[in-house]
Amino acid sequence: MTLRARVLTVSDGVVAGVREDKSGPALRAALTAAGFEVDRAEVTSDGADEVASALRTLVDGFAGLVVTTGGTGFGPRDLTPEGTRLVIEREAPGLAEAARLVSPLGRLSRGIAGTCGQALVVNVPGSSTGAVECLDAVLDVVPHALALLAGEPTGH
């Protein structure tokens, strides 16, 4: 099974060109190092509707992992979890909980995870360090989750 991934950076600053996207490239590098083929990386503004629209495009007909970075905190425009809930069909709370446990600041993340068709969506924080740490916390079980979503035999 080919492991496929996509990355969505959620940031008003990156969209406006006043902030450099550091977490998106960091996630792409970590995913590639873990054996994933990253075939797409996008950027969208903060806000539930913006995130939902971008996610719908990324998951449409896609079988693989979609990682969002940014918008999981307490800022007024940090609405990535709300936008994600508009798109996913089933939540995967164990993944979000595992990601939150990687550092004390993880407890401030409101990120969620869930499925949409054969795609698994995981929200991680916007800092490059936090994003990669949270991804690493769940990456070991992602291939199994994707196999289950694809209806492939998993041996359990």
The answer to whether 123 touches 85, Cβ cutoff 8 Å, is no
Confidence band, pLDDT 50/70/90 cuts, at residue 1: confident
pTM (2 d.p.): 0.96
User: At residue 147, what are phi and psi to the nearest 5 degrees?
Assistant: -65, -45
**For residue 79, pLDDT beyond 70:** yes
Q: What is the DSSP letter of 116?
A: E
**For residue 156, pLDDT beyond 80:** no
Per-residue pLDDT tens digits for 36-51: 999 999 999 999 999 9
Per-residue pLDDT tens digits for 127-149: 999 999 999 999 999 999 999 99
Per-residue pLDDT tens digits for 85-125: 999 999 999 999 999 999 998 889 999 999 999 999 999 99
What the block records as the tokens of 29 is 């590098």
DSSP for 85-101 reads HTT-SEE-HHHHHHHHT
The answer to whether 104 touches 2, Cβ cutoff 8 Å, is no
Average pLDDT over residues 71-95: 97
* C-alpha–C-alpha distance, residues 31 and 49, integer Å: 27
Confidence band, pLDDT 50/70/90 cuts, at residue 13: very high
What the block records as the tokens of 155 is 């041996």
Confidence band, pLDDT 50/70/90 cuts, at residue 28: very high
CA–centroid distance for 128 within its chain: 13
What the block records as the tokens of 114 is 């869930």
- Round the CA-based radius of gyration of the chain to a whole number and report it: 14
Chosen CATH of 4-150 out of 3.40.50.800, 3.40.980.10, 3.40.630.10, 3.40.50.880: 3.40.980.10
**For residue 62, pLDDT beyond 90:** yes
What the block records as the tokens of 46 is 């903060």
Confidence band, pLDDT 50/70/90 cuts, at residue 154: confident
